[in-house]
Amino acid sequence: MRPYILAETNWRDINKHDFELAILPWGATEAHNYHMPYGTDIIEADLISAEAAGIAWEQGAKVIVLPTVPFGVNTGQDDIKLDINMNPSTQAMVLNDIIEVLDRQGIHKLLIVNSHGGNDFKTILRELGLEYPDMFLSTCNWFQSVNKDEHFENPGDHADEMETSLLLHLVPNLVLPLTEAGDGKDKKHKVEGIREGWAWAERKWSEVTADTGVGDPRKATAEKGEKYFVAITNKLGRLFYDIAKIDQNDMYE
């Protein structure tokens, strides 16, 4: 039993600790090319948060990892079989309920570990921050914490070489042989501003990619995944520690 994982701990142990920071991993349930599980983002959120929390805990940070929320914003994938969409307005209500508990019980810091590109918690946290002025509300995207180019050859943002390598390291029994994977080729938008990334519109997933992947996964290896996992969990472990230890009344220098 790891004392910093809420789902594993118990009523006897939990009362020994005054937690400084609650960590909420947040995933999505969606197709990941032909070769990876629907729970890919959940598995990543779970295992990255747990490992990073262990690193922070060892250094003396009192963190507690809440169970992973399994559903994300999948509004662009309404025609992909069993991609489960949770609307942003629902996410706001879920967050409100969790923050209400933390605030009432005196755990005044929350960090969301986001594992899915379609989730965007910033505007929700801005709004809830007004309602809960004693709370420090924060979010991070683990997939942006380390420069991917230093670890992987092919770019991508969904079921790509990076995600496939990670899962080959973490849960190899849930990844089909790479000969089963599609090439993850995606079509680019015809509007230049959207292509350049400074303008935005929802991607209609089924029109952008045939295999649901974005990025060629076929150069993925477990070794690449392990190195990357170590790099991101060290980075997140430091973030967990820093947020747990910072004085909420003295955060700027």
Cβ 94 to Zn ion, closest distance in Å? 20
The residue ranges of DSSP E strands in 28-163, in sequence order, are 63-65, 109-114, 136-141, 156-158
Measured CA to CA, the distance from residue 155 to residue 184 in angstroms comes to 10
Binding window for Zn ion (CB under 5 A); candidates: 38-46, 134-142, 175-183, 238-246: 38-46
Q: What are phi and psi of 27, to 5 degrees?
A: -110, -145
Q: How many angstroms separate the Cα of 124 from the Cα of each of 104, 130, 139? A: 19, 10, 11
> In whole angstroms, how close is the CB of 117 to Zn ion at the nearest point?
7
The token duo for 167 is 């899962």
Name residues contacting Zn ion, limited to 91-120 (CB under 5 A): none
Contacts with 8 (C-beta within 8 Å, 6 or more apart), sequence order: 1, 2
Lookup result for tokens 């390598």:
165
Closest contact distance (angstroms) between CB of 166 and Zn ion is: 9
- Exposed/middle/buried for 146, CB within 10 Å: 0-12, 13-18, 19+? buried
- Is 211 among the residues that bind Zn ion (CB under 5 A)? no
User: How many CB atoms within 10 Å of residue 94?
Assistant: 15
Is 186 a binding residue for Zn ion by CB under 5 A? The answer is no
Q: Which residue is nearest to Zn ion (CB)?
A: 41
Nearest approach in angstroms of CB 121 to Zn ion is 16
Q: Which stretch binds Zn ion (CB under 5 A): 40-48, 128-136, 143-151, 169-177?
A: 40-48
83 part of the interface to Zn ion, by CB under 5 A:
no
> Which is nearer to Zn ion, 40 or 114 (by Cβ)?
40
Nearer to Zn ion, 31 or 50 (CB): 31
What is the spatial distance between Cα 53 and Cα 2, in angstroms, rounded to a whole number? Answer: 10
CA-to-CA distance for 54 and 64, rounded, in angstroms?
10
**Least distance between Zn ion and beta carbon 160 (Å):** 9
Q: Smaller CB distance to Zn ion: residue 127 or 180?
A: 180
Go through the chain and tell me how many residues it has. 253
Nearer to Zn ion, 231 or 246 (CB): 231
- Shortest CB 10 distance to Zn ion, Å: 32
Q: What is the CA radius of gyration of the chain?
A: 19
In 3D space, the residue among 221, 168, 209 whose CA is nearest the CA of residue 30 turns out to be 209
Q: Which stretch binds Zn ion (CB under 5 A): 39-47, 133-141, 223-231, 243-251?
A: 39-47
Stretch that binds Zn ion, among 36-44, 164-172, 177-185, 199-207 (CB under 5 A): 36-44
| 41 lies in the site for Zn ion, by CB under 5 A | yes
Between 27 and 57, name the residue whose CB sits nearer to Zn ion: 27
Q: How far, in whole angstroms, is CA 175 from its chain's centroid?
A: 19
The label of the residue with tokens 């683990």 reads: 142
Size of the site for Zn ion (CB under 5 A): 2
Least Å distance, CB 41 to Zn ion, is 4
| Positions that interact with Zn ion (CB under 5 A) | 40-41
